[in-house]
A and B are shown apart, each in its own frame.
Chain A
Amino acid sequence: MSRELTSPVRAYIGLAAGLAVVVALFFVLRTASDSVALGALVGGLSVVALLAVAIWRARRGTATASLTRSAAGVADERDADVMRRSLAVGGSTSLIWLPGSLVAIVLGADPMIAVTVALYGQLATLVVAYLVVQRSR
């Protein structure tokens, strides 16, 4: 797969969609708690801003990281392969994290803590998988 087949337009659409989700989340959360809504807004906008910088760097051709190119939609075939393998590991391990959290809840664990541990465990698995796969390819 060449760079031409992964259109940067998809990255811009993703950027716009991410921005829309962050703003919508802010208004939804504001009905429950202003501070939580503000935290989600700041955090979300930070992520969107980082993604925008990644797209800008990739479009200029100065992006040197595989993840940056993938996020910007200009991944080449190796970048796509690394991402695909990492997501495959993440998907496979979700079959452990999610049932694990359910079992923990059934056994009496606090649901919020169990779900949070599963979420961050899943994210950590993805990050580690990405790093390992990238070094091996």
Chain B
Amino acid sequence: MQNDVRALREAAGLSQGALGAALGVSRQTIQSIEVGKYDPSLPLAIRIARYFGQHVEGIFHVS
């Protein structure tokens, strides 16, 4: 699954650690999600989407 988390994070001027802290996960988890190594759970995907004010399907795309 591909996603736009990195682009959204960088547009918001956030570090991976800061986004992780805001979402209650580690920096490594954010990094793994951004590079597509780890697909977040649905609750985390929803939290990410809500954080950036978007829908889940607007951020995560099935490749």
In the assembly, what is the distance between CA of A82 and CA of B29, in Å? 11
| Number of residues of chain B lying within 8 A (CB) of chain A | 13
Nearest 10 Cβ contacts at the A-B interface:
A76-B25, A78-B29, A2-B24, A137-B38, A3-B24, A76-B26, A78-B38, A76-B29, A77-B41, A137-B37
> CB-CB < 8 A to B44: which residues of A?
2, 77
The answer to whether A77 and B40 touch across the interface, beta carbons within 8 angstroms, is: yes
Interface residues of B (CB under 8 A from A): 24-29, 32, 37-38, 40-41, 43-44
The answer to whether A78 and B32 touch across the interface, beta carbons within 8 angstroms, is: yes
The answer to whether B26 and A81 touch across the interface, beta carbons within 8 angstroms, is: no
Closest beta carbon of chain B to A118's beta carbon, Å: 33
| Number of residues of chain A lying within 8 A (CB) of chain B | 14
Given contacts A3-B25, A77-B29, A79-B26, 9 further A-B contacts (CB under 8 A): A1-B41, A64-B28, A66-B28, A76-B25, A77-B41, A77-B44, A79-B29, A81-B38, A137-B38
